[in-house]
Amino acid sequence: MQRTRTGTSSQTKFVLDESELPRRWYNIRSDMPTAPQPVLHPGTLQPVGPDDLAPLFPMELIGQEVSEDAEIPIPEEVLEIYSLWRPTPLYRAHRLEEAIGTRSRIFYKYEGVSPPGSHKPNTAVAQAFYNKKEGRTRLATETGAGQWGSALSFACKLIGLECKVYMVRVSYEQKPARRSMIKAWGAEVVPSPSEETQSGRAILAEHPDSPGSLGIAISEAVEDAAGRDDTAYALGSVLNHVLLHQTVIGQEALAQIELAGSFPDVVVGCVGGGSNFAGLAFPFLREKIAGRDIDVLACEPAACPTLTRGLFAYDFGDTSMLTPLVAMHTLGHDFVPAPIHAGGLRYHGVAPLISQLVLDGLIRAEAYLQNDVFASAVLFAGSEGILPAPEAAHAIHGTLQVAKAADEAGQERTILLNLSGHGHFDMAAYDSYFAGKLEDVALDEAEMERALRSIEGLPTPA
């Protein structure tokens, strides 16, 4: 029987008017207790300057990468495109709460309403805009799950740029519909490793059956962009400016949870490179740094446990060692994660800003096995209706762990999670789960030690 809900606490959706769209991105660097480590040039091992990055990125984004301004205005043209789907809704998960019988309140911010189906266009549109403004005509990028590739192809179409997507081979094969979506918005998509770059050819020569990884696809896209004047590189996560662009999520959520007359005790997100997690969490971490008590939980796969088991070290962002060195939690740049279905979480590193905040004790992390994650996804779909992306399902699973622990301790908590995308293009993964064919992979110690040998000899963070 349905429980009857009364008063303001009965409301399910908290929506903002288009006029309430945030007009500035929030830059957490201005509030961090410890400044992040400098990014190093891989040749000189000295901090990189704007000129080193200019072949790959427009100057405006390089400026944002190092900016310490607390807020950065969002250009009108970007706001105009954001308004196609933003502000996104915040939901109170009444039916999920009922299904698990928790005393806690669960809210989720839903980014799956964007045209490509995830949070990724929040930065794709901004990156395409600045590149076009500074005269580039083409962007090259990698994609793991296919969400980022489709988001960039969408943004390039609307802004008027060509786009080339190197799609991690295992996702290319698992998700033909994502490929079609990328093509529908006019971009070219190839499986990575490909025969089209030196990096790809070198990997295929050694491992003809390589499933690919984000690290490999990044090498291919960087090589493509570095070799052509008309082309810049666009990254869907990890970098400071990418995390910055995602902070519209958390700013909206702050206003919406206030509409609900509430405030979260716990903020939860999944972490691949860290952009959707940062997007929701950073505006709340601003409150935490100012003294509010908030537990901030990052959720990752046990097959790629970067934050829970990786080392904090300088490492390359890609497999072929083409990128600058960044200080972050890493499993080693030549680590190729098992082909789990949360393709967007198969990355050996994580955003340096998140790493530093974990070291400073402001964020904690947990890792989960994929069958447990899919069980939580199915429970969520059966109560809230939305079929989550496998990546986002990690945040749902983390939320359920928090609610369970609170119930066992006799506590009542308010939990806010980021539902970073829908899983409509991930139905093959659901089918594998239903057929009992999903393998639970936890990274084994010997493979981790092997992969971490690749960073021996690189500088150590101060």
Ligand X SMILES: Cc1ncc(COP(=O)(O)O)c(C=O)c1O
Task: Please give the backbone phi and psi of residue 247, each rounded to the nearest 5 degrees, phi first.
Answer: -70, -5
Rounded to a whole number of angstroms, the minimum distance from the CB of residue 142 to ligand X is: 10
Judged by CB under 6 A, the chain residues 316 through 375 that form the site for ligand X are: 344-345
Applying CB under 6 A, which part among 4-12, 66-74, 143-151, 257-265 lies near ligand X? Answer: 143-151
**What does the block give as tokens for 60?**
């405006």
Rounded to a whole number of angstroms, the minimum distance from the CB of residue 144 to ligand X is: 5
What is the total count of residues that contact ligand X (CB under 6 A)? 21
Closer CB to ligand X, residue 116 or residue 324? 116
Rounded to a whole number of angstroms, the minimum distance from the CB of residue 90 to ligand X is: 17
Among 37, 147, 199, 356, binds ligand X (CB under 6 A): 147
E strand or H helix at 313 = strand 311-316
- Compute the distance between CA of residue 39 and CA of residue 111 in angstroms, rounded to an integer: 30
Smallest CA-to-CA distance from 120 within 181, 199, 210 is with 181
Instruction: Work out whether 121 is an interface residue with ligand X (CB under 6 A).
Output: no
What does the radius of gyration of the chain's CA atoms come to, in whole angstroms? 21
Closer CB to ligand X, residue 155 or residue 458? 155
CA distances from 352 to 52, 201, 328, 357 (A): 19, 29, 5, 9
Closer CB to ligand X, residue 102 or residue 306? 306
Instruction: Work out whether 174 is an interface residue with ligand X (CB under 6 A).
Output: no
Rounded to a whole number of angstroms, the minimum distance from the CB of residue 226 to ligand X is: 23
Annotate 390-413 with DSSP letters as a single string: HHHHHHHHHHHHHHHHHHHTT---
Q: Which residues pair with 269 in a beta bridge?
A: 298
Residues found in the chain: 462
Closer CB to ligand X, residue 105 or residue 109? 109
Among 27, 210, 219, 420, binds ligand X (CB under 6 A): 420
Closer CB to ligand X, residue 237 or residue 319? 237
Smallest CA-to-CA distance from 16 within 213, 217, 259 is with 259
Closer CB to ligand X, residue 241 or residue 413? 241
Rounded to a whole number of angstroms, the minimum distance from the CB of residue 275 to ligand X is: 3
Site string for ligand X, 220-239 (x = CB under 6 A): -----------------x--
Rounded to a whole number of angstroms, the minimum distance from the CB of residue 321 to ligand X is: 22
Rounded to a whole number of angstroms, the minimum distance from the CB of residue 293 to ligand X is: 25
Rounded to a whole number of angstroms, the minimum distance from the CB of residue 146 to ligand X is: 8
**What does the block give as tokens for 167?**
């799609």
Closer CB to ligand X, residue 193 or residue 273? 273
- Compute the distance between CA of residue 323 and CA of residue 337 in angstroms, rounded to an integer: 20
- Compute the distance between CA of residue 419 and CA of residue 440 in angstroms, rounded to an integer: 23
Instruction: Work out whether 310 is an interface residue with ligand X (CB under 6 A).
Output: no
Greatest alpha-carbon span in the chain: 68
Rounded to a whole number of angstroms, the minimum distance from the CB of residue 208 to ligand X is: 26
Q: Which long-range contacts does 398-402 make (Cβ < 8 Å, 24+ apart)? A: 398/268, 398/270, 398/297, 398/299, 398/366, 398/368, 399/106, 399/266, 399/268, 400/100, 400/376, 401/366, 402/104, 402/266, 402/268, 402/295, 402/297
Judged by CB under 6 A, the chain residues 236 through 275 that form the site for ligand X are: 237, 270-275
Instruction: Work out whether 145 is an interface residue with ligand X (CB under 6 A).
Output: yes
Rounded to a whole number of angstroms, the minimum distance from the CB of residue 225 to ligand X is: 19
Q: Quick one: CA dihedral 36, 39, 44, 46, positive or negative? A: negative
Closer CB to ligand X, residue 214 or residue 232? 214
Applying CB under 6 A, which part among 100-108, 140-148, 188-196, 302-310 lies near ligand X? Answer: 140-148
Q: 13-50 burial, b if ≥16 CB within 10 A, otherwise e?
A: ebebeeeebbeebbbbbebbeeebbbbbeeeeeeebee
Residue nearest ligand X by beta-carbon distance? 344
CA distances from 442 to 170, 338, 395, 452, 455 (A): 18, 9, 18, 16, 21
Judged by CB under 6 A, the chain residues 364 through 403 that form the site for ligand X are: 389, 391-392
Residues that bind ligand X (CB under 6 A): 118, 144-145, 147-148, 237, 270-277, 344-345, 389, 391-392, 420-421
